[in-house]
Amino acid sequence: MKRPLALLLGFGLGLLSSVSACDGGSGNEEDGETGNQKNECGTEWAEKDGMTPSIMDTWGAPCATDADCVPLLGDGAVCIQNILGVYDLAGGYCTRSCSLPNTSVTFEHNDPDCDPNGGVTCVGVEGAFTACALPCDNHSQCGREGYGCRLMPDIASEGDPNFCLMNPVDCCTTDSGECGV
């Protein structure tokens, strides 16, 4: 759960140097850094079996405003559309704010800020961005188009939990190449 200070400093510097480049174009352009084909953010990128129940009916549900999330998650629910000006979240993402103990801890399972009954994880970097999410084991659990089960870009390490997240290439809003893949 603890990460080296260099990782956090690199994450912070990358965020500070980001320049928004989301132009709403047709997508399908090539990413000059990696050569990856970029599609429109929200386009399906993770193969799903079509039979597994979605874990994104409450945590990670689509939204346009905070008011869309309150009936699902209660008072304090928020709709996030973008993470720190770096990643768009296609169709919005219902969640709650949470706190981590310090900047070295990037996730905490069963966080009481998320749900006092447990089962929900607080993930992010304290002081920069934190949100509540359900961990996933496979893409099929992420029942929304444009989302797949993957490590949190930029801050996660091998062995950390996966979450239903956007495609980090297609939903990256910067041209400076700091988006983690």
Tens of pLDDT, residues 140-163: 999 999 999 999 888 888 889 999
Residue 8 lies in a domain: no
66 vs 168: which has the higher pLDDT: 66
The pLDDT score that the predictor gives to residue 177 is 58
Question: What's the number of domains the chain is made of?
Answer: 1
Residue 172 lies in a domain: no
CB 56 within 8 A of CB 157: no
Across the chain, the runs of DSSP E, i.e. the strands, are: 77-83, 87-96, 107-108, 121-125, 129-133, 135-136, 147-151, 162-166
The pLDDT score that the predictor gives to residue 180 is 58
Residue 52 lies in a domain: yes
pLDDT tens per residue across span 36-82:
566 889 888 889 998 999 999 999 999 999 999 999 999 999 999 99
Residue 113 lies in a domain: yes
Residue 177 lies in a domain: no
In the chain, % of residues over pLDDT 90: 60
The pLDDT score that the predictor gives to residue 174 is 82
Beta-bridged to residue 151, according to DSSP, are 162
The residue segments making up the domain with residue 136 are: 40-166
Residue 25 lies in a domain: no
